[in-house]
A and B are shown apart, each in its own frame.
Chain A
Amino acid sequence: MSISAGGPAIEADRLKKEYNGRAVLDVERLIVERGEILVVLGPSGCGKSVLLRVLNLLEPPGAGAVRFCGREVQGLEGRARVEVSRRMALIFQDPLLFRGSVRDNVAYGLKVRGVPREERLARARKMLEVVGLERHGARNVSTLSGGEAQRVALARALVIAPEVLLLDEPFANLDAPTRAALQEEVRDILRGRSMTAVFVTHDQDEAARMGDRIMVLNGGRVAQEGSPRDIFYEPETEFVAGFVGYDNLYRGEVARSEGGLATIAVEGAVLQAVADLEPGRRVVLGVRPEDVTLMPAGEVGARASSRNAFGGKVTGVELRGPAARVTVACPFPLVALVTRRSAEELGIEVGADVGARFKATAVAVMENAERAVRDTDEAGGLHGQNMRG
């Protein structure tokens, strides 16, 4: 990521926030480069909404520094606060439209900035075109559908041409098709305008779709940050792995390691992973269910070269539309996500014998939690350096 003239759009250091003595935010370092979409991913209550409010100067951090385009802005009050916050806009999960017409809502940010009526109505009209609501300017907001209302909220934020757009789970309340359509639209709009954005979500699919970079937050702390590929294929902690879809997580100990291939003893079985690890090291292994292939039980032994191949009995089948989530006792529990059609072809039902296999490259290796405390500190420092470089 190149640093353009003037440095990052937002930088924050040692950001802390407490509510009633409970730490809700503890971010060592945060950088949002100009023009990038940073996704903040985490479960409910991980501090991601608080982070947005602090960045938007809606509330001050308990400690730490926030720099907006190079200028320290934490704790600003009154006019100075308003001036900085006017270079950003925040969209919430609920559209939070004001009583009145669509047009007046979209023009609101311009009105408080003293933009003359003619100009603000013209700009509102243009922005309503961008979100596909050009014919709805005169409508009362109480008649809008959920998707339309969120489009109005989007137009209301975009019309002020913010340098940074902050989005707090903006699509969480929408139905799946509307959500998908809006994700694509917002991405295109942000791209087209090279707009900087911080997008907060608890949805890993949305994070993958929207983000240039992802920061995973857990309990107010940064668990990991990196490209979507890093996060989804090289999770650094058990928490991150579990959160981004590694439903198969095992604790184990490295038995041996040679030629870049490690053999790890796990719950009475032996798994192989592509990694260089010293024997005796305790690790956590993660396998995504969609990386597990199922086959007829008889084929397991037939492929001698096949690593990580196991036979077992099906203990659970959960149908999810066109997909089936199958749990196999290998004897350790292994969850596979296969198409419903292939599950039917393999005759999969509870109690059936089946073979399961995954590649050694599909195994993510993480530090065991016992060492994670120290590693988190190291990781924090390391990321800071990476970001600066």
Chain B
Amino acid sequence: MSAGYQFFHALWLSLAVSGIAALIAALVGIPLGAALSEFRFAGRRAILVIIHAFMGLPPVVVGLYTFLVIMRSGPLGSLNLVYTATAMVLVQVILAVPIVAGFTHASLEEVDPRLGMQARSLGATRGQAMMVKAREARAGIVAAVIAGFGRVIAEVGAVTIVGGAISGKTDTITTLIVKSTRLGSYATAAALGLALILVAIIVNVFMTRLQSEGGRRELEKRVTGYVD
């Protein structure tokens, strides 16, 4: 296995795993954050406390508990998830959802609640009124997804535990950096680090475009399927 193959495989896997994880986290976390902002129900405070606590949870801890659940003798052992990319996505979703939900909730709380009432008084359904508030909080919600992606692509402990950091298979950029550094291949490690920084910049440029007016329609079309 060439070093080049290892490098590009790790790069591709990092992007794929973290991209899919961020997408799933957005699909789960945005509605969750919105629901916590829109509805008042029993247990709402408790859920918020848990979300806020999980936002700062060390990835190795999440990795450990996920591993205990999916390992062969664990409750989900029969699914054979240990040391697979699927397990890596799963653990990253667990890490990213609280970030996306927490920031989405916070940015929706900043929106004037009367805007939702105004939308409803103009004939909006509750869902349509929530959409109005989400549009007002668009920049914050996009930032929530960026932050979620940033957390998981930069993370090393959890993917190492559940993915095993198998060369050419479940190595990500971050796990490969750790390995290369240990082996004294500082040039490789530095190159990987640079690649990670580049990826982060490219992804953020794209996401920031979505935050701006120009990218709004594009985002809406993709997220909601309707645009005027």
- In the complex, A113 has a CB within 8 A of chain B: yes
Query: What is the chain B residue whose CB lies nearest that of A89?
Result: B122
Residue B73 is within 8 A (CB to CB) of chain A in the complex: no
**Count of residues in A whose CB is under 8 Å from the partner chain:** 28
For residue A120, give the distance in angstroms from its CB to the closest CB of chain B. 8
Do A112 and B121 touch (CB < 8 A)?
A: no
A94 touches B119 (CB 8 A): no
Take A104-B228, A111-B228, A117-B228 as given contacts and tell me if A96 and B118 are in contact as well, using a CB distance cutoff of 8 Å: yes
Q: Are A92 and B114 in contact (CB under 8 A)?
A: yes
| Cβ–Cβ < 8 Å partners of B121 in chain A | 56, 58, 85, 88-90, 166
Contact of A58 among B112, B117, B128 (CB under 8 A): B117
A99 & B136 in contact (Cβ 8 Å cutoff): yes
B118 neighbours in A (Cβ, 8 Å):
90, 92, 96
* B115 A96 Cβ-Cβ under 8 A: yes
Instruction: List chain B residues, Cβ under 8 A from A92.
Output: 114, 118
> Does chain B have a CB within 8 A of A17?
no
- The smallest beta-carbon distance between A169 and chain B, in angstroms, is 13
Residues of A191-225 contacting chain B, CB below 8 A? none
Q: Which residues of B contact A56 (CB under 8 A)?
A: 121
Contacts of B128 in A (CB 8 A): 112
User: B97-146: which residues lie under 8 A (CB-CB) from chain A?
Assistant: 112, 114-115, 117-125, 128, 132, 135-136, 138
Evaluate contact between A160 and B125: CB separation under 8 angstroms.
no
Would you call A157 an interface residue if the criterion is a C-beta within 8 Å of the partner chain's C-beta atoms? yes
**Binary per-residue interface labels of chain A (83-104) against chain B in the complex, 1 for a CB within 8 Å, 0 otherwise:** 0011011101010101110001
Of B112, B122, B132, B136, which one neighbours A157 at CB under 8 angstroms? B122
B213 to chain A, nearest CB (A): 9
Interface check A243, CB cutoff 8 A: no
Q: Mask for B183-195, Cβ within 8 A of A = 1, else 0?
A: 0000000000000
Contacting pair A58 B120 (CB below 8 A): yes
Residues of A within 8 A of B119 (CB): 98, 108, 112
Nearest-CB residue, chain A, relative to B137: A99
> A-B contact count, CB below 8 Å?
57
**Contacts of A109 on B, CB cut-off 8 Å?**
122-123
Q: How far, in whole Å, are A100 and B124 apart by their CA atoms in the complex?
A: 17
Q: Which chain A residue has the least Cβ–Cβ distance from B120?
A: A58
Q: Does A189 contact B (CB under 8 A)?
A: no
* Chain A neighbourhood of B114, CB < 8 A: 92, 94, 96
Bound CA–CA A216/B12 (angstroms) = 71
Selected contact of B123 from candidates A53, A86, A98, CB within 8 Å: A86
A82 within 8 A of B: yes
Asked whether A282 is an interface residue with its Cβ less than 8 Å from the other chain, the reply is no
24 A–B contacts, CB within 8 A, in A order = A53-B117, A56-B121, A58-B121, A82-B125, A85-B121, A85-B123, A89-B122, A90-B118, A94-B114, A96-B112, A96-B114, A96-B118, A98-B115, A99-B135, A99-B138, A100-B135, A104-B228, A108-B119, A108-B124, A112-B123, A112-B128, A156-B122, A157-B122, A160-B122
Mark B residues whose CB is within 8 Å of A.
112, 114-115, 117-125, 128, 132, 135-136, 138, 228
